[in-house]
Amino acid sequence: MNKLCIGCGSILQTTNKEEKGYTPDLKNSYCMRCFRLKNYGEKKKEDYISNKDIFVKINSKKGLVFFLIDFLNLNTETISIFKNIKLPKVLLVSKSDLMRPDMKPVKIKAWLKSVYNLKDDIYFISGKTNFSEINIFKYLATHNYQTGFIMGITNAGKSTFMNHILKEHHLKREVVVSKYQNTTLDFLKFKIEGFNIYDTPGFIYNTLSLDLLNTEIKPISLNLTKPTTIIISDKYYFCFPSPNQIILYINTKEYSKIFEKRDGNKLNVSSNSDLILPGIGFINIKKETSLISNLNNLEVRPNYSNYGGNYE
Ligand SMILES: Nc1nc2c(ncn2[C@@H]2O[C@H](COP(=O)(O)OP(=O)(O)OP(=O)(O)O)[C@@H](O)[C@H]2O)c(=O)[nH]1
Ligand SMILES: [Mg+2]
């Protein structure tokens, strides 16, 4: 039987250095890539498994899926990946420590269910609270499942969650975790408390940022009294043609404000809406406007305060 790398799930092989799973010696537990990633934080080649291959694999299996999307990447694209999984599933909004502590999960859940038309259970989880918000074994037992798949978008924190479960059960094995996308490369199976639990590779999606600060978002309120362009991370700009009030909920400190117009794509935004910046956060826009941006196909959704919530 093939031996699998315990870090990423690839089949270990000694023949091709450029391919997944290479190790100079089959006695090793980790492939060369995972060894380097774990010990030196280095990741060179962009290995990944395609979304299509993950869908084919998961949709032929039986069990229940715990699907992680981190708070900064909740959007139509990631939710539609979630919806494409045919197995029964639960949505776990991960890295919820990035949300302000006074955001109330009950209200955010109602808002998310309504905006994205979701029927599934939703939990907000965080490594900072030791994932105490859900016990997957109890959930599986209550719903009569033997097998649970930890799935989700890449970098959402699946392997971190898996490692927490392994540690809780005093199991020594550790899955490789990193700040990079596509760390886990195949399904990794664990037998715990009589259940089969899988860590899985992440789904790829369109993100604007691959280099996040994993720190709580601090809202920045800006009163725009004249036409203003907001520039985020020196890359993305948003021109507000008329006075407005906006709040930046972004996971970067790099933003600037200039008073000149730029050309780009026009986007109509109705009052009190959130402009979604995948991987970065969002901008709450108070007044109806037509803004100009260098980005295409931006998603706008009603703000959570339209559903009785309050971020402040
Ligand atoms: N702030 C915060 N960061 C987290 C949390 N969980 C994981 N991270 C960080 O997110 C990054 C990605 O974590 P991984 O566990 O490797 O993510 P993954 O979903 O397994 O990623 P792939 O295997 O690449 O799909 C790491 O830098 C983690 O330290 C969390 O609850 N809060
Ligand atoms: Mg992983």
Q: What is the CATH number of the domain that holds 170?
A: 3.40.50.300
Cβ partners under 8 Å of residue 302, min gap 6: 115, 272, 273, 274
Lowest pLDDT segment from 55-59, 91-95, 249-253: 249-253
Ligand nearest to the CA of 48: 1
In this structure, the answer to whether residues 242 and 121 fall within a common structural domain is no
Ligand 2 centroid–CA 201 distance in Å is 6
- Beta strand residue intervals within the chain, DSSP E: 64-70, 89-94, 122-124, 147-152, 188-192, 195-199, 220-224, 228-232, 236-240, 244-250, 255-258, 265-269, 273-277, 281-285, 289-293, 300-302
Q: Whose CA is nearest to atom 32 of ligand 1?
A: 95
In this structure, the answer to whether residues 4 and 137 fall within a common structural domain is no
- Residue 179 domain-assigned (yes or no): yes
7 CB near ligand 1 (under 6 Å): no
154 CB near ligand 1 (under 6 Å): yes
- Residue 87 domain-assigned (yes or no): yes
| pLDDT exceeds cutoff 70 at 231 | yes
Ligand 1 centroid–CA 211 distance in Å is 12
Ligand 1 centroid–CA 228 distance in Å is 35
In this structure, the answer to whether residues 79 and 158 fall within a common structural domain is yes
SS3 content of the chain, % helix, strand, coil (to 5): 20, 30, 50
| pLDDT exceeds cutoff 80 at 104 | no
Q: Which atom of ligand 1 is nearest to the CA of 126?
A: 31
Identity of the amino acid at 117: N
Mutation choice for ligand 1 from 177, 184, 203, 205, CB with most ligand atoms inside 8 A = 177
In this structure, the answer to whether residues 228 and 98 fall within a common structural domain is no
In this structure, the answer to whether residues 73 and 5 fall within a common structural domain is no
- Residue 208 domain-assigned (yes or no): no
In this structure, the answer to whether residues 291 and 233 fall within a common structural domain is yes
Q: Which atom of ligand 1 is nearest to the CA of 214?
A: 1
In this structure, the answer to whether residues 108 and 84 fall within a common structural domain is yes
- Rounded Cα distance between 161 and 164, Å, is 5
- Residue 210 domain-assigned (yes or no): no
pLDDT band with cut points at 50, 70 and 90 for residue 75? very high
Mutation choice for ligand 1 from 155, 161, 165, 197, CB with most ligand atoms inside 8 A = 155
96 CB near ligand 1 (under 6 Å): no
Q: With contact defined as beta carbons under 8 Å apart, do 38 and 176 qualify?
A: yes
178 CB near ligand 1 (under 6 Å): yes
Give the tens place of pLDDT for each residue, 133-155: 999 999 999 999 999 999 999 98
Question: Domain total for the chain?
Answer: 3
In this structure, the answer to whether residues 83 and 142 fall within a common structural domain is yes
In this structure, the answer to whether residues 278 and 152 fall within a common structural domain is no
- Residue 312 domain-assigned (yes or no): no
Residues 40-57, mean pLDDT to the nearest whole number = 83
Q: With contact defined as beta carbons under 8 Å apart, do 21 and 5 qualify?
A: yes
> Could you tell me which of 193, 237, 222, 229 has the C-alpha nearest to residue 285?
222
Residues 71-94, mean pLDDT to the nearest whole number = 95
Q: Whose CA is nearest to atom 13 of ligand 1?
A: 157
* pLDDT reported for residue 298: 93
140 CB near ligand 1 (under 6 Å): no
Structure tokens at 75: 């959007």
In this structure, the answer to whether residues 106 and 177 fall within a common structural domain is yes
pLDDT band with cut points at 50, 70 and 90 for residue 283? very high
| pLDDT exceeds cutoff 90 at 198 | yes
Domain enclosing residue 10, as ranges: 1-45
Lowest pLDDT segment from 132-141, 218-227, 262-271, 301-310: 301-310
pLDDT band with cut points at 50, 70 and 90 for residue 186? confident
Q: How many CA atoms lie within 13 A of 168 on its CB side?
A: 15
Residues 161-180, mean pLDDT to the nearest whole number = 86
Phi, psi values for residue 255, rounded to 5°: -145, 155
10 CB near ligand 1 (under 6 Å): no
